[in-house]
Amino acid sequence: MKHNYWIAATILAFSVALAGFWIGNTIKTGKAYDRSVRVKGLSERTVNADLAVWPLNITITGNDLADIKSTIEKQNKIVYQFFIAQGFDQTELQQGSINIEDVKANAYSNNNYQEFRYIAKSDFTVRTENIALLQNALSSSLDLLSEGIIIGSKNTWRPIEYSFSSLNSLKPEMIEEATKNAREVAEKFAEDSNSKVGKIRNAQQGLFTINDLDSNTPHIKNVRVVSTIDYQLED
């Protein structure tokens, strides 16, 4: 009977020791796994815009609707031929709607000081991938004033909208660069803490942003992405 007691006591003691070892090892492993560093990797590119849209208004004033109609048709043709002569293709030019405002019908207008009853605006849009050609046309557009044509950008704060539409061609290379940059930052951190960089625990790719390089060069874009990566640290 006494022999059986010692056997049971030995098994119990061994089980307690094994459990203690397992728990201790689990805690040690868990603490080791908790050793990580979160870093950010950056990738930037400066690129030229590859698409430009210039929305225009042709403004006409008058007191006779028939005369306004005739003038609008004439000036639309002149503006169209101007851009064709500049080297644009007809597919890059689009004539839009015509809006006519009756000033006398405007309750908030002081009719006593209005010389013309009607103000007509004809929409015209230039959409092209030839940025240089559009910038030349912008400079030459003042020549239309000599023919009595008043054109203006519909968006006064941003006359021409420049955009970059080839982002997909840059994504793979930029993601790779951002990941490499994050790894370099993690390795510097590990070096300073006498550690080594291990496997990636978690990675988050940031959103790609496309912004003007500055307010004076909207046709040059800055493409940027930031990736956030958690690396395991090892001894």
Name the residue range of residue 76's domain: 51-163
Domain end (from 138, 163, 188) = 163
Task: Write down which residue in 146, 163, 180 finishes a domain.
Answer: 163
Q: In this structure, are 148 and 60 located in the same domain?
A: yes
* Residue 11 shares a structural domain with residue 66: no
Within this chain, do residues 179 and 156 fall inside the same structural domain, yes or no?
no
Shared domain check, 195 and 174: yes
| In a shared domain, residues 7 and 58 | no
Are 1 and 73 members of one domain? no
| Cα–Cα distance for residue pair 161/218, rounded to 1 Å | 8
- Residues 6 or more apart in contact with residue 83 via CB below 8 angstroms: 92, 93, 126, 137
What is the model's pLDDT at position 206?
A: 85
Span 80-131, pLDDT tens digits? 999 999 999 999 999 988 888 888 776 566 655 567 888 899 999 999 999 9
**Which sign, positive or negative, has the C-alpha torsion 11, 12, 17, 21?**
positive
The whole-model pTM stands at: 0.73
Domains in the chain: how many in total?
3
23 with 58, same domain: the answer is: no
